[in-house]
Amino acid sequence: MRGMTNRACIAGRDVDTVFPFTEEKMVKIRLRRTGCNNNASFRVVATDERSPRDGKFLEILGWYDPKREGENFKVDMDRVVFWQSKGAQLSETVASIVRKAKKSAVAAV
């Protein structure tokens, strides 16, 4: 997918200074809808829980296309683990995708 180079905005800077966390700010890893009518696809994003579904986000972590056959997702597991270490919570669907990604990574080894 084009346009997914979102790390340029934080390159060379400490992530904690770019995204300072406070107790009232909760980070969620969830899906953001893209695509057109009757042809939805999704991006896996880290976002503030108060922002709307398709609103601003902190970082794109991958994609999910439910209509594609075979491997229909890709997730950057290093970044998911990083955000979870900072206290981010996964949505149900993203948790399912992460479980599948871990299972496929183990099968590949």
Q: What is the pLDDT of residues 74-102, one digit of tens each?
A: 999 999 999 999 999 999 999 999 999 99
Enter the pTM of the model: 0.73
Q: 7-108: CATH homologous superfamily?
A: Ribosomal protein S16 (3.30.1320.10)
Instruction: Decide: 37 and 62 in contact? Cβ < 8 Å.
Output: no
**C-beta neighbour count of 103 within 10 angstroms:** 10
- Work out the average pLDDT over 59-81: 93
- Tens digits of per-residue pLDDT, 17-40? 555 555 556 899 999 999 999 999
Q: How far, in Å, CA of 105 to CA of 20, rounded? A: 32
Q: Would you kindly state where each structural domain of the chain is located, as residue ranges?
A: 7-108
The residue type of 35 is G
| pLDDT for 8 | 45
